[in-house]
Structure 1
Amino acid sequence: MTITQLYYVLAVAENQNFTKAAEKCFVTQPTLSMQIQKLEEQLDVQIFDRSKKPIELTDVGKKIVKQARNIVNESYRIQDIVDQQKGFIGGEFKLGIIPTIMPTLLPMFLKTFIKRHPKVKLKIEELNTEEIITRIKDGHLDAAIASTPLEDDSIKERVLYFEPFVAYIPQNHRLKDRKTIEPGDLDINDMLLLEDGHCFRDGVINLCKAFKNHLDDEFQLESGSIETLVKLSNEGLGMTLLPYLHTLDLSEKEQENLRFFHEPSPAREVSIIYHKSELKMQIIEALQDVIAGIIRGAITFQNVKIISPIKNKI
């Protein structure tokens, strides 16, 4: 049994196709198939059910793949040990970022990080939290930036900053004359929300649940982006809540519609998250240092109350 064979097994399990797996592994399809067949013969089991289209794992194959993923990840730690010993920060690094953080945070730190660590080849993808957790567990992401805490034992979290919720209240709204607002002022039924699947949406609902005994699940209007929510609010269709960094890009006129919460401000916790195996920690720490240094000057709020991003949890 070799690490290469296990790597090939993982590739087939992911792609459910021997040809696609071979392309990913940069080998010929006969080479990949032969190595997997040798492994199956050595173990005297069938890892894949080749009669199915697409190819499926057998019951024992599912168990083998789970263990193979652990072994392959652990093998990468040898190179990690060498890189850390040499103080080397480089190589490919796959980073996921949730949609409500990507457009504001990425422009703030990316140029500085690339300049400071030119040997790191960042591959960045915008993904929702559920997709991020799956990909980290499967080894397809090295780390991600997301709202926390996630309460997942297989994921480790390093807090980067706390980002307050800010109310965006149009001129025709019942709260327009308030200088500051309280969570108890919120009514979920006159609020514009992101579509289901966004953890910021779940945080807003949790914030309202914390102060309301009743929640009507039939919302007036939902959207896929925060920018659209602002535009809809400007049309008088309701108020919305924004992450603080999104307020920095608003026009001077739009900023007149902002209302901050009375302290402690409800806020989301933003962290860099990664697998408990702690691979590529030198790059994770480098990212943390760069982001923390930049964000320190942008967000100065201290007295905050963290709102959970987990759906239906206060």
Structure 2
Amino acid sequence: MTITQLNYVLAVAEFQNFTIAAEKCFVTQPTLSMQIQKLEEELEVKIFDRNKKPIQLTEVGKRIVEQAKSIVNEADRIKDIVEQQKGFIGGDFKIGIIPTIMPTLLPMFLKNFIKKYPKINLIVEEHTTDEIINRLKKGQLDAAIAATPLKESDLKEIVLYYEPFVGYFPADYRKDLVQLSANDLNINDILLLQDGHCFTNGILNICKASKLDAFRRFELTSGSFETLIGLANEGLGVTFLPYLHTLNLNEKDQKNLIEFENPKPSREVSLIFPKNELKIHIIDALRTTISGVVKGAITFQDIEIISPKITA
């Protein structure tokens, strides 16, 4: 049994296809198939049911794959130990970022990071929180940036910053409001991001509402803050933005912003990674870089953390 064979097994388990798995492992399909067959012969079991389309794990195969993940991770830790001892910070690093954080945070730290750590090949992917959790557990991401706390027992969270929610209230809805409180919010006036965004969950938690009124004039959800701002400017409702997003608004739109009264409802943004702490030296480099650029932009003290998951 070899680490290479286990990596081939994990690839087939992930892609459910020998040809695609071989491509991802940079070997020919006959080579990959032969090595997996040799492992099955050694263990005297079938790991995959090749008669099903797509290919499925057998019951014992499922248990073997879980153990193989642990073995491969521990083997990778040896590489990490050697690289840290040599002071080398480099190689591929996959990081997932949720859509409501990606557009504002990534431009703030990416240039500094790649300049300081040129040997790291940073692969950035945009995913929802649920996708991030799933990919971290499967080993398809090395780390992620998302709203927390997630309370996932297999994952660690290091807080990067706290970001307040800010109201976007055009004149027709602003009235005499100077600061917002939860009592000022009418869920039926609020334009929301589409389902799957934890930012939407946060807004619903502030409003203590999980569903919309049946008599609402219309219901619209969007995947972008820009669309919500445009609709709000047309008098179709109000919306909410993360604080960092408000820094990029033009002067006219800035006048529609209203902050919450203290303690300001805020989201906790964290660096998330598996508890095995693979590539921890790169994770530390990311944390240091991001914390350095963000601390000058966000200086709020009196805040209340809003859960990224719907609460009762």
In structure 2, the partner of 1:244 is: 243
Alpha-carbon contact 1:77-1:279 (below 8 Å) kept: yes
Shift of the 194–150 alpha-carbon distance from structure 1 to 2, 3 Å rule, reads same
In structure 1, the partner of 2:53 is: 53
Letter paired with 2:151: E
Query: The residue matched to 1:8 in structure 2 has which SS?
Result: helix
Mapped partners of 1:82, 1:217: distance in 2: 59
Q: Does 1:313 find its partner at 2:308?
A: no
Cα RMSD for the two superposed structures: 1.3
Mapped partners of 1:128, 1:42: distance in 2: 41
Which stretches of structure 1, 4 residues or more, deviate above 6 A after TM superposition? Answer: none
Letter paired with 2:212: D
Correspondence list, 1:16-35, <5 A? 16-35=16-35
Query: The residue matched to 1:180 in structure 2 has which SS?
Result: coil
Mapped partners of 1:253, 1:28: distance in 2: 59
Mapped partners of 1:160, 1:93: distance in 2: 19
**How big is the shift at 1:217?**
6.1
In structure 2, the partner of 1:272 is: 271
**How big is the shift at 1:2?**
1.0
Query: The residue matched to 2:277 in structure 1 has which SS?
Result: coil
Query: The residue matched to 2:196 in structure 1 has which SS?
Result: coil
Correspondence list, 1:147-186, <5 A? 147-173=147-173, 175-186=174-185
In structure 2, the partner of 1:205 is: 204
Query: The residue matched to 2:166 in structure 1 has which SS?
Result: strand
Mapped partners of 1:216, 1:27: distance in 2: 53
Mapped partners of 1:183, 1:90: distance in 2: 46
Mapped partners of 2:37, 2:83: distance in 1: 34
Shift of the 46–217 alpha-carbon distance from structure 1 to 2, 3 Å rule, reads farther
User: For 1:206-258, what per-residue CA distance to the aligned partner results, in whole angstroms no more than 9, with x for missing partners?
Assistant: 1111xx6x853657221111111111111111001110001011110101000
Q: Does 1:13 find its partner at 2:13?
A: yes
Correspondence list, 1:221-232, <5 A? 221-232=220-231
Mapped partners of 1:187, 1:71: distance in 2: 53
Mapped partners of 1:101, 1:189: distance in 2: 25
In structure 1, the partner of 2:121 is: 121
In structure 1, the partner of 2:285 is: 286
Between the two proteins, the alignment pairs up a number of residues equal to: 309
**How big is the shift at 1:27?**
1.1
In structure 1, the partner of 2:191 is: 192
Mapped partners of 1:294, 1:27: distance in 2: 42
Alpha-carbon contact 1:169-1:176 (below 8 Å) kept: no
Mapped partners of 2:61, 2:185: distance in 1: 51
User: For 1:58-90, what per-residue CA distance to the aligned partner results, in whole angstroms no more than 9, with x for missing partners?
Assistant: 111111111111111111000100111122111
What TM-score comes out, normalization by structure 2 length? 0.96
Mapped partners of 1:76, 1:217: distance in 2: 52
Mapped partners of 1:253, 1:123: distance in 2: 36
User: For 1:2-34, what per-residue CA distance to the aligned partner results, in whole angstroms no more than 9, with x for missing partners?
Assistant: 111110000111111111111111111111111
Query: The residue matched to 1:51 in structure 2 has which SS?
Result: coil
Mapped partners of 1:273, 1:249: distance in 2: 26
Mapped partners of 2:94, 2:200: distance in 1: 26
Which 5+ residue runs of structure 2 have no aligned equivalent? none
Alpha-carbon contact 1:170-1:176 (below 8 Å) kept: no
In structure 1, the partner of 2:111 is: 111
In structure 1, the partner of 2:74 is: 74
My pick for the range that moved more, 196-205 or 37-46, is 37-46
Q: Does 1:216 find its partner at 2:215?
A: no
My pick for the range that moved more, 176-185 or 274-283, is 176-185
**How big is the shift at 1:176?**
3.4
Q: Does 1:2 find its partner at 2:2?
A: yes
Query: The residue matched to 2:172 in structure 1 has which SS?
Result: coil
In structure 2, the partner of 1:102 is: 102
Mapped partners of 1:94, 1:177: distance in 2: 47
**How big is the shift at 1:177?**
2.1
Identity of aligned residues (%): 65
What TM-score comes out, normalization by structure 1 length? 0.96
Letter paired with 1:178: L
